[in-house]
Each structure stands twice: as C-alpha cells, then as structure tokens.
Amino acid sequence: MAKQYTAQKLTYQKPPLPAPKSISPTIKFGRYAALLLGITYGYMRHNYLLKKEAKIMAYEKPRLQARKAQLQLQKQREDWIAMMNLAKECTVTPKNPNPPDNIKHMLIT
C-alpha cells in the first residue's frame, strides 16, 4: 500500500525585535526645528502666493468676462444658423427668419 502524504502547515515566527534605543536630544530638536521651519515657510509662501494671485485675477477677470460674453454670442449665432438649416431641411417656414440684432454683425451674407 502506498504511503499517503498530508500537507503540513508551516509556521514562521518573526525574530523578536531588540529593545528600542532612546533618540538623542539633538536629533529630536533637529526634527522639531525642521518641522516648525517647514510650517512657517509654507504659511509665508501661501500668503505671498495669495497676494500674487489677487493681482493676476484683477487683470484677468475683465478679460475672462469679455471672453465669456463673446462665446455666448458665438453660441447664439451657431444655434440660430442650426435652426435655420433645420427649418430648410424640414421645409418649414420660420416665424422670424431674420437673425437677432445682437448676432447680425457676426453673420456672413
């Protein structure tokens, strides 16, 4: 009769860690000093960048508003052209075939 083998569960134990050593007061001081310097630098840098960004936004805000208005007019123009093309395709006479006054100057005739 053949010998039957069974799987054995292998266990692994980690070796015990040595007792922790005390950290030098100089190293502790250096760590906390670096931490406080980093926090202080970050705070000062953040305030500097806020002031710089405020100046940039004072310049950019009117430009962004003008661009937004221009894009809105362009979208109205494209929508009006699309509706006129749809009316032609469906053989429907639009109620007002004339473009709105705010986009007349943008149309190529």
For the beta carbon of residue 103, count every other beta carbon within 10 angstroms.
17
- Tell whether 63 is covered by a domain: yes
pLDDT 10s per residue in the chain (109 long)?
Answer: 567 777 777 788 888 888 889 999 999 999 999 999 999 999 999 999 999 999 999 999 999 999 999 999 889 888 888 888 888 899 888 877 777 777 777 666 5
The answer to whether the CB of 72 falls within 8 A of the CB of 102 is no
- Tell whether 7 is covered by a domain: no
4 CB-near residues (< 8 Å, 6+ apart): none
Q: How many domains are contained in the chain? A: 1
77 CB-near residues (< 8 Å, 6+ apart): 99, 103, 106, 107
- pTM of the full structure: 0.50
What is the span of the domain harbouring residue 85?
A: 25-106
- Tell whether 60 is covered by a domain: yes
- Tell whether 56 is covered by a domain: yes
- Tell whether 5 is covered by a domain: no
